[in-house]
Amino acid sequence: MQSADVGDPSKANKAVKKSVKKERRKEKISNKGDSSKSQQQQSVQQFDGAVAPKSKAELRAERRAKQEAERAAKTLKKEEQAKSNKAKGPQVSANLQVDDPKVQKKAAKKLEKQQVPQRTEGHKKVTLFSHLHQYERSVSITKDIGFGSTGIHPAIIKLGLQYAEGIITGSNARCAALMNAVCQLIADYETPPQKELARHLESKLKPAISFLNQCRPLSVSMGSAIKYMKIKITKIPSDMSDDKAKQELISDLQAFVHVNITLAKQAISNSACSKISDGDVVMIYGSSSLIIHVLNAAFKTGRNFRVVVVDGRPKLSGIRALRHLCRAGIKCSYVLISAVSYIMPEVTKVFLGAHGLLSNGYVMGSVGTSLVSMAAKARGVPVIVCCEAYKFCERVQTDSFVNNEIGDPRDLLATDGSSSGPLIKEDAYKNLDSLKVLHLTYDVTPPQYMAMVVTELGMLPCTSVPVVLRVRSFDT
């Protein structure tokens, strides 16, 4: 049969149906007991442009039709199976498949549709991390955004730039700033006619979030906030007026920040303070807003302790922590991370902040956290992680390679044009092809190095993260 094109499923389907119908009609006619001649004639008319009506040819044609029908049905089945197999496979984010050109093409198309500018990859990529984005901060991502109305609200553009330039750092600060910007977006939002607030607002948020993701990959805290946002938006009743809905959304988001960041900070300080006793030497790494708050609170209760601040390049965020603590009157020392095993015999406790806590009990923190924990464990010094409960995520990770954020390698090179000094110069980096510089942002610490995690729900062992996630899912 000419119409049965095997490669095209929809056409094959129609051809199958046609041939089945024809066969049924033939059977009906034969059952009615028409004369064989008229039967032959009719069958000749159905098989258009056929040769002389011979019974053998008829039979052959019938057999062929049946075969084509079966073949078409088989191909349909195979394609359906292939589709279902694809759906069963693990869903890996496009951000972890940068070395797969097909996945990247799809992601690029998606961004184009949302009118979000895409960042260009850096020139020199470290092959071990070729599955992750390795950007260089050469050109501002907002250069291509015109003054006309694009899909992205100016508050979001401002926020994205602040993230990309490193003006807003720290998971709590980033999350709070995100909620602020989204509140502004919602306040300025007008539902277009004949569209529902809940659906259209979500479609407005998607390009905003993609843009922020391009500026700087989303942190665990931001991911948690966005999930909450989406749940609240879908729960808006359809009969509520737009103004009221917007007001409620804004107050909900502000309450999220208040409960999960501000109030949690106080609860955690109260519990963690009890673990700092007189005469303690507390070590901290980098600058975590929560840890600084805990230490300030403990100092205010009159405890006598001193702090060792460990710092790491290139961010040198420990200097900020040092400034805050010294201003409060706490005695501090400052070392670089290379001296951590030297200073460890003096230390009695280590307090660390976390970027996020994973479901298998691993703690994701700024790069260097795992080093400090391992050094502490080797000397029997207890490591206490303070982390708000909204930073618990359902991800599971056992190493720092699979999922990480690669920063700009130029941050590690010499910043000023001085020709002396130990740091690599920019020209040397550009000219030497075999020289690659890696700037990791996060690392992952196994739970056996941590003594406990302090959250607003109390003091827990690291392995209790799934329990907390379960308890919280009952609340929301």
Partner 1 sequence: MNDEEIAGYFEDKLKDDDLSSAIAAIETLLECLQRDAAETLSGLIHNLKQAKEVLVTTDCLATTSVSSGSDLFLRFITLASLELDDFKEVKEILISRGKLFLQKVSTCRTKITHLGMPFIKDGCVILTHSYSRVVACVLKCAAESKKRFSVYVTESCPDKSGNFMAQLLQEYDIPVTVILDAASGYILDKVDVVLIGAEGVVENGGIINKIGSYQLALCANALNKPVYVLAESFKFVRFFPLNQQDLPNQFKYRASTLKKGANLSIEHPSVDYTPPSLISLLITDLGVLTPSAVSDELIKLYL
Tell whether residue 459 is a contact of partner 1 (CB under 8 A). yes
State in angstroms the smallest separation of the CB of 446 from partner 1. 13
- Asked if residues 418 and 289 have their Cβ atoms less than 8 Å apart, the reply is no
With contacts defined by CB under 8 A, name the span among 36-44, 250-258, 320-328, 445-453 that binds partner 1.
445-453
Candidate ranges 6-14, 24-32, 104-112, 459-467; the one touching partner 1 (CB under 8 A): 459-467
Judged by CB, which is closer to partner 1: 72, or 295?
Answer: 295
Min dist CB 260 to partner 1, Å, is 18
Give yes or no for residue 467 binding partner 1 (CB under 8 A).
yes
- Helix (H), strand (E) at residue 70: helix 55-88
Interface with partner 1, residue 463, by CB under 8 A: yes
CA–chain centroid gap for 235, Å, is 23
Q: Is 432 in the site for partner 1 (CB under 8 A)?
A: no
Footprint of partner 1 on residues 269-298 (CB under 8 A)? 275
Q: Which residue has the tokens 């098989």?
A: 47
**Strand-strand pairing, 363-366 and 349-353:** unpaired
From candidates 26, 382, 400, 436, binder to partner 1 by CB under 8 A: 382
Phi first, then psi: give them for residue 37, nearest 5 degrees. -65, -50
**Cβ neighbours of 182 (radius 10 Å):** 24
> Could you say which residues in the range 340-359 bind partner 1, by CB under 8 A?
349
CA-CA-CA-CA torsion sign (161, 166, 168, 172):
positive
Q: Which long-range contacts (C-beta less than 8 Å, at least 24 apart) are formed by 175-180?
A: 175/219, 175/221, 175/222, 175/224, 175/225, 175/257, 175/261, 176/257, 176/261, 178/212, 178/222, 178/225, 178/226, 179/225, 179/253, 179/254, 179/256, 179/257, 180/155
Q: Is 154 in the site for partner 1 (CB under 8 A)?
A: no
451 binds partner 1 (CB under 8 A): yes
Options 129-137, 144-152, 225-233, 448-456: segment touching partner 1 (CB under 8 A): 448-456
Q: Return the number of the residue (265 or 275) whose C-beta is nearest partner 1.
A: 275
Helices 289-300 and 264-273: angle between axes, nearest 10 degrees: 50
The answer to the question of residue 304 lying near partner 1 (CB under 8 A) is no
Q: Does 398 bind partner 1 (CB under 8 A)?
A: no
- Rule CB under 8 A: choose which of 460, 472, 473, 476 binds partner 1: 460
Smallest separation, CB 279 to partner 1 (Å): 11
> Smallest gap, in angstroms, from Cβ of residue 453 to partner 1?
10
Q: Which of 184, 420, 14 is nearest to 4 (CA)?
A: 14
User: Does position 377 bind partner 1 by CB under 8 A?
Assistant: no
Number of residues that bind partner 1 (CB under 8 A): 17
Q: Report the chain's C-alpha Rg in angstroms.
A: 32
CA 200, CA 192: separation in Å to the nearest integer? 8
Asked whether position 448 contacts partner 1 by CB under 8 A, the answer is yes
233 and 250 Cβ atoms separated by less than 8 Å? no
Question: What's the first-to-final CA gap in the chain, in angstroms?
Answer: 60
- Per CB under 8 A, 387 contacts partner 1: no
Task: List contacts with partner 1 (CB under 8 A).
Answer: 275, 349, 380, 382, 384, 448, 451-452, 457-461, 463-464, 467, 471
